[in-house]
Structure 1
């Protein structure tokens, strides 16, 4: 069990899994996060654990449970495949650790609800690592909308597509929770939730499965908010790269490119189009991974929540709403929308 934390010292982080996202983005961002220090990285492979440990200056651990058995770990970052989240999030919470888990929290709403309940009953923080929502560019867009820059909202469109992956990529493995919806589709879905609110119905969805694989490789979704604003989402592994969203209002539109995975030194560009003018805003660069880690530390310390839920919406509840929407999209793709006209995401909890 971890020892009681002194308020002044950094939280000691243990990492379960040597995923590419941890190597490229999450662990390099730690250098700019004062409240967090890396203690150990665990892998099933001693060689992979040592590779990470040598680069990031921490202990190498072979086996995930061995990391959780250490007494110098306060919080856990879990970048494992989605199908492994349930077991290892539960083990980390059972050991008294706060958890930052890669998106999505779980493959189903039932699993997300179960894990959230375990965290709440233990008084621990469980956060889904949707880093893009912590980038300041989206708060700027929200401010523009709130200020009436494009009038009343009429529609949202979001897209995240990447070129085909190597055939051996784990995102093609159903047993590990693969598929385009859980990997790239959740980004425009979460963006629609961010801007349109938590009351979203799935009017229809289509998930395409290539003959070679048993997971979805692309999809389209149509949503409607409680205020009647519709959102069209497109995503997949069969596309030229695109990472964008557009918000269309009664008096103009806002377009954001490189919306979900901007490099830390990239200066975002927001385009505002109205009938008689086009304005381009260039914003300061920001590392959304560092911002996410700071928000996680703040949550563990009991400080006010910093994103990714605007308007005072509780972050933990937003995570459950998102998981319910994933279930509803799958149900609609199987024919639920034809039966009832819409598939509503059940209220979490």
Structure 2
């Protein structure tokens, strides 16, 4: 007999996914990823618009559901993906966990560290998986960078520098709406912040920050932050959504530095190149392409089957976002 999960389905059967909302990232990246994965099956797509739900669901041979609450009541949905506007993430993640569903939510998962703590406690108490959809951390090139640093390729690590900026969005974009959780910090600033945690660890604290509100905007459109660790390492972060496109980070050491370009949103066919600068020379370390969407889905499925919600860096990340906001209040 196959091993079984908390219900009556074999654990090796695909995880049945329901999607709350038809956001661009869902239609363009995550739904194709779920459909292509052997371990997931898209069974339902919900929207406030019946027509939109039908259009998207039809493309993925799923059922269309009118309204998010109705999808949470479906017995054949094991896990829910939440790509709603940022201000709605924690509300619907909580509702899904309360309904007994595993959850993969877009970033940021929660509006504060306190809410993130609460959601992980709820998931833990119910034996459910809860994961924030920050995909770049599942790309193996970042582990390769960690290996280079650990091997002393740049001497002793001194500082981390990261930037994620994107061109201006259409005026009607929801990321300009404060009531929906818009703003550059939550949308693009979270990437360099998470990368700093990835390499420098949870002991980071914010020592300075500045948020810039563009002309006529109700939310910040750019910003920068300076962080430090007790070991005197620093992280210098820049972000914005009215800039030329930049997606990169660098680690500076006593004897060299490592540069990673297209660091956060690389497509599946992108050939990663790590640049190692030392002794006045530049060395390129080429790696195989890797699909970080597929890798994220694989990690989520593993959490679902384990019935576990590792906190990873999500709660500390939420705390640092709180600190940046407090510095700029």
For this structure pair, what is the TM-score category when the shorter chain's length is used for normalisation?
over 0.9
Partner of 1:328: 323
Gap runs ≥5 in structure 1: 306-313, 335-349
Distance in 2 of aligned mates of 1:319 and 1:4: 31
Q: 1:177-326, aligned counterparts within 5 Å? A: 177-302=181-306, 315-326=310-321
Q: Partner residue of 1:112? A: 116
Contact 1:29–1:287 (CA under 8 A) maintained in structure 2: no
CA RMSD, 1 decimal = 1.5
Q: 2-side partners of 1:156 and 1:87: how far apart? A: 34
Deviation at 1:46, TM superposition (A): 1.2
Question: Does structure 1 residue 91 correspond to structure 2 residue 95?
Answer: yes
State the alpha-carbon separation in 2 of the partners of residues 191 and 324 from structure 1. 15
Of the three residues 53, 63, 69, the one matched with 2:67 is 63
Partner of 1:347: none
Give the Cα–Cα distance (whole angstroms) in 2 for the partners of residues 132 and 46 of structure 1: 33
Alignment partner of 2:126 out of 92, 109, 122: 122
Cα shift readout 1:32-87 (whole Å, capped 9, x = no counterpart): 42211111110111121112112111111110011111111001111111111122
d(CA) in 1 for partners of 2:42 and 2:48?
Answer: 19
Contact 2:16 2:41 in 1 (8 A): yes
- Per the TM alignment, residue 3 of structure 1 is displaced from its structure 2 partner at its CA by 4.5
Map of 2:148 onto structure 1 = 144
Which of 105, 118, 138 in structure 2 is aligned with 1:134? 138
Alpha-carbon distance in 1 for matches of 2:12, 2:169 = 44
Q: CA deviation at 1:317?
A: 4.7
For residues 37 and 136 of structure 2, the distance between their equivalents in structure 1, rounded to whole angstroms, comes to 17
Shift of 1:30: 2.2
**2:90 partner SS:** helix
Partner in structure 1 of residue 104 of structure 2 = 100
Instruction: Tell me the TM-score normalized by structure 1.
Output: 0.90
Q: Name the SS of the counterpart of 1:186 in structure 2.
A: helix
Higher mean C-alpha displacement, 242-251 vs 206-215: 206-215
Give unpaired runs (5+ residues) of structure 2.
1-5
The 8 Å contact of residues 112 and 323 in structure 1, kept in 2 or not, is answered as yes
